[in-house]
């Protein structure tokens, strides 16, 4: 199994702040990403550019985007258009599920979905279980959500 985890950093904020954690799992053909706190357009661009540069990434992989910790986002419709048409490295056939329990984040993803052209490959859900079901991701025996960053990895790149 080839699994690669990469961190991206928010430039002008405090040193070492990590707005997004992502994991590329080649065996499962799945990219998982979790955004923290507030999300800027630059955070999303950095994540997508890092993903695109990752040798384990394939544009046909599915994606699971965890926005459960996001409190605010500066992504507007113009930014959503730019992200969907200029930066997004996923193929148009790749299935991506966004988990956005807060209303503002949910509607930000719906805006992105519309900007991209709602072709059924992108969906937004309120819960992780719904998103995993839609992506056909098996639940673990314990029912825990995906493990994002191990302490050993976080310590090795800090």
The pLDDT value recorded for residue 18 is 56
The pLDDT value recorded for residue 134 is 97
pLDDT band at 36 (very low <50, low <70, confident <90, very high): confident
Max CA pair span of the chain = 42
Could you tell me which residues are beta bridge partners of residue 35? 20
* Helix or strand holding residue 156 (H, E): helix 151-157
pTM of the model: 0.78
C-alpha span between 149 and 125 (Å, rounded): 23
Can you say how many angstroms the Cα of residue 69 is from the centroid of all Cα atoms in its chain? 12
Structure letter (DSSP) for residue 145: P
C-alpha span between 63 and 128 (Å, rounded): 12
On average, the pLDDT of the chain sits at 81
pLDDT tens, residue by residue, 48-95: 999 999 999 999 999 999 999 999 888 999 999 999 999 999 999 999
């Amino acid at each position: 199994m080839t699994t690669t985890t990469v961190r991206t950093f928010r430039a002008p904020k405090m040193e070492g702040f990590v707005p997004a954690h992502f994991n590329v799992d080649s065996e499962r053909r799945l990219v998982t990403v979790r955004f923290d706190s507030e999300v800027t357009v630059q955070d999303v661009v950095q994540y997508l550019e890092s993903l695109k540069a990752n040798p384990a990434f394939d544009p046909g992989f599915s994606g699971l985007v965890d926005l459960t910790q996001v409190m605010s986002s500066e992504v507007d419709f113009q930014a959503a258009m730019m992200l969907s048409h200029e930066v997004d490295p996923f193929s148009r056939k790749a299935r991506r599920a966004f988990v956005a329990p807060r209303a503002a984040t949910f509607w930000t993803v719906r805006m992105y979905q519309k900007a991209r052209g709602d072709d059924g490959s992108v969906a937004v859900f309120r819960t992780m279980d719904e998103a995993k079901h839609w992506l056909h991701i098996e639940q673990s025996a314990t029912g825990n959500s995906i493990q994002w960053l191990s302490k050993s990895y976080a310590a090795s790149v800090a």
